Amino acid sequence: MENKPKFTISGYRGIWGKDLDEQITFEFATAFAKIIKKGGGKKILVGRDARKSGVLMLWAIKSAFKKEGLEMDNAGIIPAPSVLLLVKKLFYDGGIIITASHNGIEYNGLKFVMKTGLFADSNEIKEINKIKENLNEKYIVSKNNNKEENDNEKFRKIHINEILKNIDVDIIRSKKYKATLDPINSAGSIIIPELLKELGCSVSIINGDQSGEFAHTPEPLVKNLNQISEAVRTNNSEIGFAVDPDADRLVIVNEKGEILSEEYTIVLAIKNVLSKYPSDVAVNMSTSRMCEDITNSFGKKVFRTKIGELNVVKKMIEINSNISGEGNGGVIYPKINTARDTLVGIALILELMAKENKSVSSIVESLPKYIMKKEKITFDGNVDFLNEKLKRIFSNADSVDILDGIRFNWKDSSWIHIRPSNTEPKMWIISEAKDMTRVDYLFEQVKSVL
């Protein structure tokens, strides 16, 4: 596998100063502006997470749009899902989100949004890349690029109001929940507390400024969230929420301070929405089987997609699903937003707790039990050759799926999925079963080949 950043439907991410800088940003923005112009577009919305390099990228984007004769509105530091919702709701001709999502502090990146409020698809990505590769223009830094003046309160209110219109606000407010939040000093730091207060919650916040100084490894995984675990217990909160830097992935902490696997976020959202609006569900190939169990209990089916938010969204639209998402903490509720949206996820989970009049831990206790393991490793070999070897090792699998990488399934509910990462030159191994022994065995078999 080639050891350089990929430009995919998940956007472009690179280490600042190495794989990404102002010149590269300027080139991407110029290419995107040309596509928007070709479609008759005139005005773009740009938002960002709190990484310090983001403001430098903002100025490069502004310069590119000005050169191409397009207008740009700056939504400031705001969640990625807010930008997607706002582009569609306010009829912008497109948008750019400056973020490296859950990647480390040394990274930054770009995500491109079309006027539909959806991310650029693979054909649009190819077109952006083709134009970018043929550009020969230099970005000239303006002397005025020293300060970002922006108040995005009106944008935040639009996002929050869309959520309040589409959930049972009164039942949540009646519970007066105590919540603790870790927005990792980034895009969710202002808007999420505002939403929680609208829902009648008292809110305790850790890592709640917009400095871009991440207080822990930014990917919202159990191993990275010790701080909020402790804070939930200290504050006697009934629930805790942790998000990643661009606030499109959500992890729940129960009232005991136990951090739930990010897989539970979409499962709880599905449980709530299907109880009101039963429908089929779209999730990606690496998401927990709990989704099947819950969806089937409502007499509906789960459709699996390739990894990547846009793939799930497109399938969701195709099957007319009322709720879909990804097991990485991504909730997509099209009634509000056709994107992974932590604010929507928070509202749906509070609504579920209030409707069932139960704690998070008791709701989770009622769910099917599986063990899941995820690991990302460097792999320099030939993927096709690897897949052939795996097919021989797992010749006893009841089914094999090659939609995205390769996934082996067995009738005992166990499965293992091996695929290249969309955003890094690495290989993902994800497995799930009813006991750890089975998961470990499947991992050992794969690693023996790698």
For residues 176 and 307, membership in a common domain is answered with yes
* 258 DSSP assignment: P
CB atoms within 10 A of CB 69: 9
**Segment 264-296, tens digit of pLDDT:** 999 999 999 999 999 999 999 999 999 999 999
User: What is the band of 1 on the pLDDT scale with cuts at 50, 70, 90?
Assistant: very low
Residue 95's CATH number = 3.40.120.10
Given a contact cutoff of 8 angstroms between Cβ atoms, the answer to whether 132 and 28 are in contact is yes
Mean residue pLDDT of the chain comes to 95
pLDDT at 302 over 60: yes
pLDDT band at residue 96, thresholds of 50, 70 and 90? very high
Return the pLDDT at 144: 61
Structural domain tally of the chain? 3
Binned at pLDDT 50, 70 and 90, residue 145 comes out as: low
pLDDT (mean) for 74-86: 98
Over 70: is that where the pLDDT of 67 sits? yes
Do 108 and 72 belong together in one domain? yes
Percent of the chain predicted with pLDDT > 70: 97
The pLDDT tens digits of the residues spanning 200-212 come to 999 999 999 999 9
State whether 285 and 174 are in the same domain. yes
On whether both 355 and 415 belong to a single domain, the answer is no
Query: The CATH number of the domain where 377 resides is what?
Result: 3.30.310.50
Q: What is the average pLDDT across 295-316?
A: 97
In a domain, 1, yes or no: no
**CB atoms near residue 52 (< 10 Å):** 12
Q: Alpha-carbon distance 248 to 262, whole Å?
A: 12
Q: Do residues 323 and 410 both lie within one domain?
A: no
Complete DSSP assignment for 100-155: -TTS-TTEEEEEEEETTSSB--HHHHHHHHHHHHT--------TTTT------HHH
Same domain, 108 and 176: no
225 domain-assigned: yes
Is 135 part of any domain? yes
Q: Is residue 299 part of a domain?
A: yes
The rounded distance, in Å, linking the Cα atoms of 102 and 428 is 16
Where in the sequence is the domain holding 445, given as residue range(s)? 371-449
Would you say 59 and 146 are in contact if contact means Cβ atoms under 8 Å apart?
Answer: no
Averaged over 397-425, what is the pLDDT? 92
- What's the whole-model pTM score? 0.95
